[in-house]
Structure formats: structure tokens, C-alpha cells
A = this chain, B = another copy of it.
Amino acid sequence: MEAIRGRIAGRKLVAGSRLPSVRVQAQTMGVSVSTVVEAYDRLVAEGVIRSHPGAGFYVSGSPAPLSLAEVAPKRARSVDPLWISRQSLEARQGTLMPGCGWLPSSWMFEAGIRRALRTLARGESADLVDYGSPLGFEALRQILSRRLLTYGVEAPAGQILLTESGTQAIDLVCRLLLEPGDTVLVDDPCYFNFHALLKAHRAKAVGVPYTPAGPDLDAFAAALRDHAPRLYITNSAIHNPTGAVLSPAIAHQLLKLAEAADIVIVEDDIFADFEDVPAPRLAAFDGLARVIQIGSFSKALSAAVRCGYIAARPDWIDNLADLKIATSFGGGRLASEILASALTDGSYRRHMEAVRWRLADAREKVIRRLAPLGIEPWMRPPAGMFLWCRLPGEQDAADLARACLEHGVILAPGNAFSLSQSARSFLRFNVAQCDDERVFQVLGMVL
């Protein structure tokens, strides 16, 4: 009690701050959990701190007009497109996250990032205090230009704009090309954040059913005819959430349809480094005429070092650079220097090779562990971290997700990915996040 009071008096903890969890506090102070529970309870009784059930303890005394409970994790909120993101981003240590969209930190290229930081801290050349140029750090754009060429995408450095993230890359493209009320085609299912992003742009999203080889072309053609969309946003390499890969035949037909309807395609390529064999890229087939490719390294290198890119026609890049300045000013020069350093670190290639092997192994293992529960994969993806799975007996995945959350397991229910809400009995599993028996125990218990 004295320690907490002291921290509040010294303004190390201010009104509204969350206190360390009981467990962490007990460890830190070398006392038992029950001692901390008692101390916290007494402080609650004194009104020094407040308890928000399920969300921890907070310092009282804020003169804020609204309750701070508002910003605590909304466990009861509806399972909307942002539900999975917030649950995963807010997860406390010890929470299991088979539904989350990224690798555990132990799988990431932390050693490489640390090396890059050391190099930057030592070096005299890196500029640690200045804004980046409008397009972003040239050395990184050169590296990206060479990388893209290995996928057949010809994008000189002048046609590449660095952004703060892959999400910001798509956001800038939407700002450039969409008017409020425009229609945008997305895959059904697709990455749930596309729905939230398009809503933020007041665009109307229309879903096109996805097959194991790409979008359903008849449905795509019908959507072009019926909705006169402006954009189509998709992943070609490793589709999120299904893990499907675009076939060359569908890529070719898709581009012909897009040309005839004069729409722009945004190809989100953030899983490129997870492929064993490169899938066809729409940006390569099309020569960056009506395809815009975006990407980032949050999934493979580090999600803490924010940097994405847009490869597009020069006139669009120029306008996108203006929009970037207007809405987020100069880019994060430091992040791009770190990434340039890490990407040219010879061990990155080996690191990703190991990650790909590990994922292949984990995909098989998770399929085997889910089988006895009656949970079956929609397809066996050739690469990546995702398995798109169907629950037995048409169960409601959102109900299951809410029940599992009570046991500290965050799932990704299918309808969060589906505009038509036709994925009620599906779940997206991240196999890299399933390396704990409790995932399957909790599923078995709740199913």
C-alpha cells in the first residue's frame, strides 16, 4: 500500500493509470499474491484506486468528464471488424492468441533488428534527427525495387513511396482514388481490417467469393457490372485469411476484366517473404499500369519498426507523396534506416527460410490436433501462418470466441472476415500461435 501511495504522490502513477497486475506486482515486490490482493482491496476501499472487473486496477481521482472504464478493453463489445485487432493488441502476457494475425515475437528477426540498432547508434552516416525525403529513404527504395524485380514487378525507386505501414499505404491509396460513396470490391472472406478501413473512407464494400485459386471470376464480373466499383483490394501471394494462392490463369482473366471495367487493383503483398515459390503477382502481369502494389515488413521483420511501401505509376506516386505530407508529413527516417540495414543483413534470408520450415511443420501439426475436435481446414495452404477452418455442426464461431476469451484464448471468428456473413462457422487459426496445448484443451472444453 505504501509503495502504491508513494508512486501516486510522486506522480509516477497519475489518475487513470492502470496498476501492475496482482501477479506482476507480487513478483516485483517479492511478496505473495494474497498480500497484493489484500493491499489492492484496501486501497480500493480507501478510494485511492478503483477496480474494473476483468480489466484491472486504476488510480482514482480523475476529474475527467467520462468514466475511464470506457477505455478498458471492451470484452463485451460486438465482434466487429476491430474486435480481433483490439483483443490481440491489448492482450496481456499469458493470453493465448491463435486468432491473431502475426507471429509470436520469439519467431521474429529480433537479433537482426538489434544489430541494425547497434549499427545505427554507432554510425555517423545515419541521420537520426531529420525528416525523410517525400518518397522516403532512397537506399531502402532501391532495395525494394530490386526485391520487387524478383517477383517480376518493375518498379524503379522513383515509383516507390515509403509509408508508415502497409495499412497506411492502402489508406493513402483510398484517399487518392476514392470519393465518399464509391464502391470497392474485396474478397469474401478477406482481411477484416479492409472493412474497417473502407468504412473510415465512407466507401461501400462489396464482397466477391474467394476460391482456393483466387476470386470467383463469374462473381467478380457480376460485381463489376452491378456495382461499378472503383477499386478491388486483394492479396495474391498468401491470401488472408484462407492461405490460398492466386493462379496465373485467374490472374490473367482478372486483369482483363479489370481493364474492361477500368478499375484499379490494390495488391497487398505483405506476406511475400513467407512464400516458398513466388505466386503470380498482378503488379507484374499488369506492369503497374492499373495495379498498385503495397507491402510492409511488419509480419516478417518487426512490427515495432513501422514502415510500408506503395509501388505505383509515377503520376500516382507523386500525388500520394503530396497526400502523405498533408496527412502525416515526413516519413519515419529512422524506421527505414533500420529496415534497410536489416534487409541487407545476410542472415535475414536464412532467418525467413527457418520461419518457412517451422510454419510448414506447424500447419501440419495444427491440422492434426484440430481433427479430433471436428475442426477441418477449408484447404491446405502451401505457405504462411493461416489455416481457415470450419467448425463441426455449423456452430457459431463468434459465440465460441466469446467463450474462449473467458479462458484467455483469443480466436478469430469467420464472420469478422466475411462481408456476406457467410463464414459463421469458420475460424482463422494462426499456426505459429498454437504451440501450446491449452489452445486445444480450451477449444475441446468449450466446443
Q: Which A residues are closer than 8 A to B by beta carbons?
A: 11-18, 58-59, 62-68, 70-71, 74, 81-82, 85-86, 89-90, 102, 105, 108-110, 113-114, 117-118, 120-121, 127-135, 138, 142, 145-146, 149, 154, 156-159, 164-168, 171, 175, 180, 193, 196-197, 199-200, 202, 287-289, 298, 301-306, 313-315, 317-318, 321-323, 325-335, 337-338
Contact = CB atoms under 8 A, between A and B. Distances in A.
B129 A82 contact: no
Contacts of A65: 287-289, 313
For this chain, the copies found in one complex come to 2
Given A129-B303, A305-B334, A322 B18 contact: no
Contacts of A62: 154, 156, 159
Nearest to A171: B327
A22 to B, nearest CB: 17
Contact of A157 (B16, B114, B305): B16
Contacts of A317: 71
20 contacts: A12-B142, A14-B145, A63-B154, A64-B156, A70-B318, A82-B326, A89-B325, A105-B129, A108-B129, A109-B129, A110-B129, A113-B129, A127-B304, A130-B303, A164-B164, A171-B327, A304-B337, A306-B328, A306-B334, A335-B335
Name the residue among A17, A135, A287 with the largest chain B CB count within 10 angstroms. Answer: A17
B131 A89 contact: yes
Contact of A329 (B13, B71, B193): B193
A133 to B, nearest CB: 6
Nearest to A109: B129
A287 B298 CA distance: 37
Given A128-B110, A306-B335, A146 B59 contact: no
Contact of A70 (B67, B117, B314, B325): B314
Contacts of A135: 71
Contacts of A331: 306
A322 B304 CA distance: 19
B85 A329 contact: yes
B335 A133 contact: no
A85 B131 CA distance: 11
Nearest to A331: B306
A306 B326 contact: no
B328 A149 contact: no
B168 A328 contact: yes
A128 B200 contact: no
A317 B315 CA distance: 36
B305 A64 contact: no
Nearest to A13: B142
Contact of A158 (B16, B298, B306, B327): B16
